[in-house]
Amino acid sequence: MRAWLLDTGPLVAYLDGGDPAHARVAARLGAWTGRLCTTCAVVTEAMHFVSAHARGPSLLARFADQSGLLVYDCAQPGQLRHAAALMEQYADTPMDFADATLVLLAERLNLFDIATLDRRGFSTYRTRRRKGLRLVLDSPLPTGPEP
């Protein structure tokens, strides 16, 4: 089954009808039939942003449940060291902790397709093996049968 990493921006935009990226993100995520994978840091960051709306947290929880969102922990001591190193390496981009955990998860899952609105960051970031990420919101949806 195909899978995408999910960043904070599209998650918030999907839930917030007033977000400028809502229509584009809703169309892409609504058409997506694969898995969505993210990290606890992304969920925490998104929960912070959606909590500005009274129903925001419950909408996020319902989205996670109904979409089958796979949420991974990336806060073990070794992961924190690697995330901190990535954040230092990309300080001029900059890279926040949620971004760093998604790069760690990409490497862990061998999954390099990411739904993000952060073109600058995620077109720059690389895994330890120098693998880049493909920005799926900027790419046409694949057609035909799954590989």
Span 31-37, average pLDDT:
95
pLDDT at 1: 80
Residue 46 lies in a domain: yes
Span 10-18, average pLDDT:
96
Residue 144 lies in a domain: no
pLDDT at 147: 45
The string of DSSP codes covering 31-87 is H--SEEEEEHHHHHHHHHHHTTSTTHHHHHHHHHHHHT-EEE---SHHHHHHHHHHH
Containing domain of residue 73, as a range? 3-138
- The mean pLDDT of the chain is 94
Name the band, by pLDDT with cuts 50, 70 and 90, for residue 142: low
Structural domain tally of the chain?
Answer: 1
pLDDT at 139: 74
* Beta-bridge mates of residue 70: 37
pLDDT at 134: 96
Distance CA 12, CA 21 (A): 9
Angle at Cα 69 formed by Cα 108 and Cα 127, nearest 5°? 25
Q: Tell me which DSSP letter residue 2 carries.
A: -
Residue 134 lies in a domain: yes
pLDDT at 43: 98
For 40-53, the pLDDT digits (tens) are 999 999 999 999 99
| Residue closest to 116 by CA, chosen among 130, 95, 147, 131 | 95
Radius of gyration in angstroms for the set of CA atoms belonging to the chain, rounded to a whole number? 15
Both tokens of 77, joined, read: 């001591």
Instruction: Note if the bond before 94 is cis, omega within 30 degrees.
Output: yes
Residue 143 lies in a domain: no
Residue 147 lies in a domain: no
For 69-124, the pLDDT digits (tens) are 999 999 999 999 999 999 999 999 999 999 999 999 999 999 999 999 999 999 99
Name the band, by pLDDT with cuts 50, 70 and 90, for residue 33: very high
Residue 146 lies in a domain: no
pLDDT at 94: 93
Query: 82: domain CATH number?
Result: 3.40.50.1010
The model's pTM: 0.92
